[in-house]
Amino acid sequence: MNDVAIDWDHENPFIQEVEASAEHIDGLNHVNNNIYGQWCEQAAWAHSESLGISLKDYQELDRAMAIVRSEYDYLLPALLNEELLVATWLTENDGKLNMQRRFQIVRKADGKTLVRGLWKFVCIQISTGRPKRMPELFVRGYLGVS
């Protein structure tokens, strides 16, 4: 990806590359904080799909991993035209209802961490919004259990 060594928070990150463009920049001349959340969402869905779980699967199974808590630590700004790496990991999963995903956004040029994020999920039945045990597809895909 690049020649700069990156100190990832966890092993084996799932990584997406993004570039800060004009529509991401706010009145303070850096990437708006809301954009980091959008990039995390894009990386999370891409990671989920790489594990064999898509939005279509969520809809067909009437189940979803719904975010119940999100936290972001904004450490350094990203500026126009900077290339960034959005890394994500599943760091906790009880195989029943709860899961946790972490994020680390790094500037590609120097390997500095700009943002760290955490999402906590609960599995829900989409049609009712109520907590419901993870379907087998989620257990296999998100836990790596066969």
pLDDT of 75-119, one tens digit each? 999 999 999 999 999 999 999 999 999 999 999 999 999 999 999
Q: Whole-prediction pTM value?
A: 0.93
Cβ(44)–Cβ(91) below 8 Å:
no
The alpha carbon of residue 70 and the mean position of all alpha carbons in its chain are separated, in whole angstroms, by 11
Look up the CATH superfamily of 14-143.
Answer: Hotdog Thioesterase (3.10.129.10)
pLDDT of 13-55, one tens digit each? 999 999 999 999 999 999 999 999 999 999 999 999 999 999 9
- Which DSSP state fits 22? G
